[in-house]
Amino acid sequence: MDEAFEKRLPKPEDLHAMTEECLKAAFAGESQAAEKYLVFAEQAEEEGFPNIATLFRAISFAETRHARNHLRVMKGINSTAENLAAAFAGESFEIDEMYPAYGEIAKAQSNAQASRSIKYAVKAEMDHKWMYGEAREKALDGKDIAAQPVSVCLICGHTVIGDVPDKCPVCAAAKENYKTF
Amino acid sequence: MAEAFKNTPPAPEDKGAMTAQNIAAALAGESQASQKYLAFADVADADGYPNVARLFRAVAYAESTHARNHLSVLGGIGTTTENLKAAWGGETFEITEMYPAYDAVAKLQENESAQTSIRYALKAEVDHQGIYDSTLKGVEGEKDLGGEAVRVCPICGHTVIGDAPDECPQCGTAGSFFKEF
């Protein structure tokens, strides 16, 4: 990425409180639009509209650029060690606070599918928290993590470094349902 | 059993009001985590941590599966016609309500970078609204979109169907940087 390219990005800025509130909400909106359009792309493919699927993926990418711009202005993009610390903190909040509270209410309201969606997420966030913690230690020493494959269950998001299990331990999906990075 | 075990994402269900609110909040949280990790992956690449970058991209994908699961429970995944209508509705809200209001606040508070980030997004949402509108008309006649490439400016998200311009009309980035879908 050359300098001229970098220069066109909106810069980190000291924000007034209300402007910051606005950008936070815009970041939330763009992030959700990007994710929804990826799901809509899969649906379009299933219905036999491959070009609409491509369109949804392209516009999802555009929303990702907006999300990144807003995040950058809010000073949310920093060094890798700092980003790993932020990621670790986010996962910890979801594990310790958010999902246990949401899980309890879904149980009280007898919402089985919501409970399942919450359980899948909280289990995977535990994998992520651990991985981010290890990676942060390395990054603080100026070291990268090892070059092992990272694989993700496409049903529940279960995440493993190294070999893929025969069956997902969280949702029991078969090995073929893992995507490897 | 001849057929391989096939798991599926959590299904839509009638929810208690509090559970519905929580799943909507969890969708917002997962979407933002996914987008942050994608931005953090680019930083890790630039910082010389290719394996940390890969980890961030894998975990971003895992958060996308959680976002999709929550969206499914909320009943937010429809047919392509319904999805295009929802996408059009979202873009329209951002163009007519959200970004003009946020822009007014950022102007009042003289936050220049925030205004740039808001302007980039707003201009691209106008592209998206138009494209979704014409695509929806096609699908209502059971026609897919044409097979032309969709191209997106990696700085501001400006979106065109067909050839990239020499220079992005919104932010001046060279057309050769546009990402093709």
Contacting residues of B for A15, CB less than 8 Å apart: 109, 111, 114
Q: What pLDDT, on the 0 to 100 scale, is given for residue A3?
A: 67
**Residue located via tokens 């202005």:** A73
Nearest CB neighbour to A181, from listed B58, B83, B171: B58
**Distance (Å, rounded) from C-alpha A165 to C-alpha A58?**
33
Q: What is the mean pLDDT of residues A134-149?
A: 96
Q: Which residues does A17 contact at the CB level (< 8 Å), separation at least 6?
A: none
Residue of A nearest to B168 (CA): A8
Look at residue A1 and tell me whether its pLDDT is greater than 90: no
Q: Which residues does A76 contact at the CB level (< 8 Å), separation at least 6?
A: A27, A86, B36, B39
Q: Do residue A80 and residue B29 have CB atoms under 8 angstroms apart? A: no
Q: What pLDDT, on the 0 to 100 scale, is given for residue B8?
A: 84
Q: What pLDDT, on the 0 to 100 scale, is given for residue B110?
A: 97
Look at residue A33 and tell me whether its pLDDT is greater than 80: yes
Q: What is the mean pLDDT of residues A53-81?
A: 97
The model's pTM is: 0.93
Q: What pLDDT, on the 0 to 100 scale, is given for residue A75?
A: 98
**Distance (Å, rounded) from C-alpha B118 to C-alpha B106?**
9
Q: What pLDDT, on the 0 to 100 scale, is given for residue B2?
A: 38
* A89 shares contact with chain B (CB less than 8 Å): no
Q: Do residue B159 and residue A15 have CB atoms under 8 angstroms apart? A: no
pLDDT-flagged residues of chain B (< 50): 1-3
- What mean pLDDT value characterizes chain A? 96
Contacting residues of B for A49, CB less than 8 Å apart: 80, 139, 144-145
CB A148 within 8 A of CB B54: no
CA dihedral A101, A102, A108, A110 (to 10 degrees): -160
**Distance (Å, rounded) from C-alpha B117 to C-alpha B130?**
21
Q: Do residue A23 and residue B139 have CB atoms under 8 angstroms apart? A: no
Q: Which residues does A29 contact at the CB level (< 8 Å), separation at least 6?
A: B90, B94, B98
Phi–psi pair at B14, nearest 5 degrees: -75, 125
**Distance (Å, rounded) from C-alpha B12 to C-alpha A114?**
9
Q: What pLDDT, on the 0 to 100 scale, is given for residue B5?
A: 52
Look at residue A155 and tell me whether its pLDDT is greater than 50: yes
Q: What is the mean pLDDT of residues A13-30?
A: 97
CB B171 within 8 A of CB B157: no
Indicate which of A5, A11, A22, A97 best probes the interface with B, i.e. most B CBs within 10 Å of its own CB.
A22
Determine the angle formed by the axes of helices B80-93 and B112-140, rounding to 10 degrees: 150
Nearest CB neighbour to B9, from listed A9, A150, A155: A155
Nearest CB neighbour to B5, from listed A70, A83, A174: A174
